[in-house]
Amino acid sequence: MYRKFYLIILLIFISNCSLNKVVKHHGVHFLDKKQQKLILNSTNKNDILDNLGPPSTESTFDNDVWIYIERKETKSTIATLGRRKLMVNNVLILEINDKGILVNKEFLKKDDMNTIKFSKRKTNVISSKDSFVYEFLSSLRQKINDPLGTKKIK
């Protein structure tokens, strides 16, 4: 009786297991292969959009900077309690001049991310409650809301 019960429980657990790894993909598929088709000083914006699609992030400074991301994650083994494992983390940074031509391209892999040096400096918060500007604006707001000073201050 107990053997049949244990066998049924074991079959239920085994039937729920999957042999194929589930891979979560974010961004452009096969970014490393697609970026090789982009040629400096020859490829234009339309070619980039045809090959890679719209960028993940755009910024405009002196030149347009387009950033494409590819990220693949999978669940790790049972021993690590199913934590996610990063398989691929690629970033492609494209710089486009004002004529729409690709000027610079930089491709970063997962291993390259560890070599990037980030600044240790911290910025100070400009608008704190103790600042002069905050106190001035709050008193101005109070005078606008209650010009005669008859309302009770909360």
Q: Print the SS3 string covering the chain.
A: CHHHHHHHHHHHHHHHCCCCCCEEEEECCCHHHHHHHCCCCCCEHHHHHHHHCCCCEEEECCCEEEEEEEEEEEECCHHHCCCEEEEEEEEEEEEECCCCEEEEEEEECCCHHHHCCCCCCCCCCCCCCCCHHHHHHHHHHHHHHCCCCCCCCC
| pLDDT for res 19 | 63
pTM of this structure: 0.61
Give mean pLDDT in consecutive 10-residue pieces for the chain, a chain of 154 residues. 81 67 84 92 92 88 85 75 81 91 90 73 66 72 74 59
| pLDDT for res 110 | 83
| pLDDT for res 105 | 93
